[in-house]
């Protein structure tokens, strides 16, 4: 979402870094580029003006112009201004400190992902906060909306309020809170109806539900791909019913990311959560400093570590590491490693969270970040017998033909995988033999097979990660 803005800002800082000492004119020229980049990214004009003024005031200071690395000093000022624009450092947590059952009201326009986000939030509260959650659909307008929420509740492992035909949204809300009190629920999530556009009837319905339930949180779900329309929607809802936080759905889209940068300044409501996928676990806290870091190409190591901690199987990881250290790594272990990588998402997404990888992604292009080579390897390994996976050396011509036919690949693909696996095994055996001290003395070149060429990604002598 922020790739275009990130590329433009990186270009500005690269230009400043080459100049050595900076004059005031250099800063003004750089700020002009920053302003154009932000407007192109669909950031609201008042936010752009305020942002550029803040950066200009800091950048034209005596310390910056005469510092040893003025380009880096300006980048630091831009980073701080980005964090401010996004809502200030640190995630804003959900307020769940009221007396149980805590009502959480979900509002927004139709098609913004409100019902799906309600399911995601229920799963998050159940697994991370250890809360007993009740989901209730107040949407009597959209056909099958209540059934959709019931299915999402089942997937999230929480209870949904039984559907009673003919009840009004306010009556359903009262019944949900009564059920919550009687059956000892910690949180009751109320999914309200949406409209195709903002109208007074929608706002009046939401106001009535708000007055009847007195929610601890009123979360507005907006579609990040609608750009400034999302900001205008948030402003209207905030003025009409009062919003305590914003959830931005579809943050994994390729639309321009100006809505996120404009939201706090225009509406006054902080972005609390973001949705980045269709799966129920694809809901994350919004950390302004991490998003600013990714925009400026500084990466998001903390986010990557959190993601790995949540998704990877640590026992399996330890088992694989021990087998690698012992030099007993086989094709079953390699397949397990591929499954672990796939859990983290696309390689492109992982690279985006690493510092300085924006330019690497640009240089490689999308085709080299494709995980199809890993899927192909998985298919080939799945077509082998247990004996073949344990001892790849027994795989000769006839076996290769059978494996290729079974996996829908060619014999050449099977050969590439076996050659690559042989090189990995050789490197692991050498590492085991050298130990950490030996590796520090001789360097990484000691692990490489003798006479090994550079290779190409996924080809003989290459790696899908190179």
Question: Residue 250: left if φ>0, alpha if ψ -120 to 50, beta else—which one?
Answer: left
272 annotated to bind ligand: no
Domain for residue 94, yes or no? Answer: no
254 is in an annotated binding site: no
* pLDDT, position 159: 95
Task: Tell me if 145 is assigned to some domain.
Answer: yes
C-alpha separations of 288 from 260, 268, 281, 307, 438 in Å? 10, 15, 20, 17, 43
pLDDT at 142: 84
The annotation status of 108 as a binding-site residue, yes or no, is yes
111 belongs to an annotated ligand binding site: yes
- Regarding whether 115 and 40 lie in a shared domain, the answer is no
Strand partners, 220: 107, 246
Domain ends where: 279, 298, 317?
298
Please state, in angstroms and rounded to a whole number, the distance separating the CA atoms of residues 356 and 349: 13
Residues 245, 387: one domain?
A: no
Report the candidate in 81, 125, 71, 87 with the shortest Cα–Cα distance to residue 103. Answer: 125
96 occurs within a structural domain: no
Is 451 a domain residue?
Answer: no
Give long-range contacts, CB 8 A cutoff, 24+ apart: 194-201.
Answer: 194/108, 194/109, 194/110, 194/111, 194/112, 194/114, 194/139, 194/141, 194/142, 195/109, 195/110, 195/141, 196/109, 196/110, 196/111, 197/109, 198/109, 198/233, 198/236, 198/237
The range of the structural domain enclosing residue 75 comes to 2-86
CATH of the domain at 386: 1.10.260.30
180 is in an annotated binding site: no
Is residue 109 annotated as involved in ligand binding? yes
Task: Tell which of 53, 86, 119 closes a domain.
Answer: 86
Q: 199 labelled as ligand-binding?
A: no
115 is in an annotated binding site: yes
Does 250 belong to an annotated binding site? yes
- Assess if residue 291 is contained within a domain: yes
Q: Are residues 132 and 243 in the same domain?
A: yes
Record the tokens describing residue 175, joined without a space.
Answer: 């019944």
In a domain, 316, yes or no: yes
Question: In this structure, are 173 and 287 located in the same domain?
Answer: yes
The verdict on whether residue 193 carries a ligand-binding annotation is yes
Tens digits of residue pLDDT in 242-289? 899 999 888 877 666 778 888 888 888 899 999 888 888 889 889 888
Whether residue 454 is contained in a domain is answered as no
Q: Are residues 268 and 138 in the same domain?
A: yes
| 458 annotated as a binding-site residue | no
Name beta bridge partners: 106: 191, 219
In degrees, rounded to 5, the angle at the alpha carbon of residue 434 between the alpha carbons of residues 446 and 426 is: 60
Each residue's pLDDT, cut to its tens digit, for the chain (466 residues) gives 677 787 788 788 777 777 666 677 888 888 888 888 888 888 888 888 998 988 888 877 656 556 556 667 777 888 888 888 888 878 888 998 888 899 999 998 888 889 999 999 999 999 999 999 999 999 988 888 999 999 999 999 999 999 988 899 999 999 999 999 999 999 999 999 987 788 888 889 899 999 999 999 999 998 888 777 888 888 888 888 889 999 988 887 766 677 888 888 888 889 999 988 888 888 988 988 888 877 776 655 555 565 666 666 667 667 767 776 666 778 888 888 777 777 766 555 565 555 555 555 555 555 445 567 778 888 999 999 999 998 898 999 999 999 999 999 999 999 999 988 888 777 777 666 665 555 556 554 554 555 444 444 444 444 444 3
**Ordered DSSP codes for 120-168:** HHHHHHHHTS---EEEEE---SSTTHHHHHHHHHHHHT-EEPPP-TT--
Q: Is 365 annotated as a binding residue?
A: no
460 inside domain? no
Whether residues 142 and 262 fall in one domain: yes
Indicate whether 292 and 311 sit together in one domain: no
Q: Binding residue per annotation — 252?
A: yes
The pTM is what?
A: 0.67
**370 shares its domain with 275:** no
94-113 residue pLDDT tens: 998 888 899 999 998 888 88
Same domain, 373 and 420: yes
First-to-final CA distance of the chain = 25
112 marked ligand binding residue: yes
CATH code, domain with 28: 1.20.120.140
466 known ligand binder: no
Q: How many domains does the chain have?
A: 3
Q: Both 65 and 213 in a single domain? A: no
**388 & 358 share domain:** yes
Same domain, 236 and 280: yes
pLDDT at 420: 84
């Amino acid at each position: 979402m922020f790739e275009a803005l990130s590329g433009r800002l990186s270009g500005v800082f690269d230009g400043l870094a080459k100049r050595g000492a900076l004059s005031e004119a250099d800063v003004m020229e750089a700020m002009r580029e920053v302003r154009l980049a932000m407007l192109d990214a669909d950031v609201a004009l008042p936010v752009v003006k305020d942002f550029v003024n803040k950066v200009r005031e800091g950048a034209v200071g005596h310390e910056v112009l005469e510092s040893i690395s003025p380009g880096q000093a300006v980048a630091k000022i831009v980073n701080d201004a980005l964090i401010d624009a996004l809502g200030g450092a640190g995630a804003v947590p959900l307020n769940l400190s009221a007396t149980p059952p805590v009502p959480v009201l979900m509002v927004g326009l139709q098609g913004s992902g409100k019902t799906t986000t309600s399911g995601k939030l229920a799963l998050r509260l159940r697994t991370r906060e250890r809360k007993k959650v009740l989901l209730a659909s107040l949407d009597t307008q959209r056909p099958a909306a209540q059934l959709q929420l019931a299915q999402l509740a089942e997937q999230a492992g929480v209870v949904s309020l039984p559907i009673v035909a003919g009840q009004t949204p306010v009556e359903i809300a009262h019944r949900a809170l009564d059920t919550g009190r009687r059956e000892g629920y910690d949180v009751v999530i109320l999914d309200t109806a949406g409209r195709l556009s903002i109208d007074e009837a929608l706002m009046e319905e939401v106001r009535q539900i708000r007055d009847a339930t007195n929610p601890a949180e009123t979360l507005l779900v907006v579609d990040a791909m609608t750009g400034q329309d999302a900001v205008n929607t948030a402003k209207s809802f905030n003025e009409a019913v009062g919003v305590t936080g914003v959830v931005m759905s579809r943050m994994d889209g390729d639309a321009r990311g100006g809505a996120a940068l404009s939201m706090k300044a225009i509406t006054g409501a902080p972005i609390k959560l973001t949705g980045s996928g269709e799966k129920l676990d694809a809901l994350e806290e919004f950390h302004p400093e991490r998003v600013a870091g990714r925009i400026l190409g500084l990466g998001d190591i903390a986010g990557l570590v959190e993601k790995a901690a949540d998704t990877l199987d640590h026992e399996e990881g330890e088992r694989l590491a021990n087998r690698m250290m012992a030099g007993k790594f086989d094709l079953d272990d390699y397949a397990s490693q591929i499954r672990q990588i796939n859990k983290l998402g696309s390689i492109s997404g992982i690279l985006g969270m690493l510092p300085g990888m924006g330019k690497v992604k640009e240089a490689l292009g999308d085709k080299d970040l494709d995980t199809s080579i890993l899927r192909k390897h998985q298919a080939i390994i799945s077509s082998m017998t247990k004996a073949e996976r344990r001892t790849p050396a027994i795989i000769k011509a006839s076996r290769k033909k059978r494996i290729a036919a079974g996996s829908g690949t060619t014999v050449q693909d099977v050969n590439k995988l076996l050659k690559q696996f042989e090189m990995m095994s050789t490197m692991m055996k050498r590492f085991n033999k050298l130990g950490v001290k030996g590796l520090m003395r001789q360097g990484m070149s000691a692990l490489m097979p003798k006479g090994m060429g550079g290779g190409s990604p996924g080809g003989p002598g290459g790696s899908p990660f190179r």
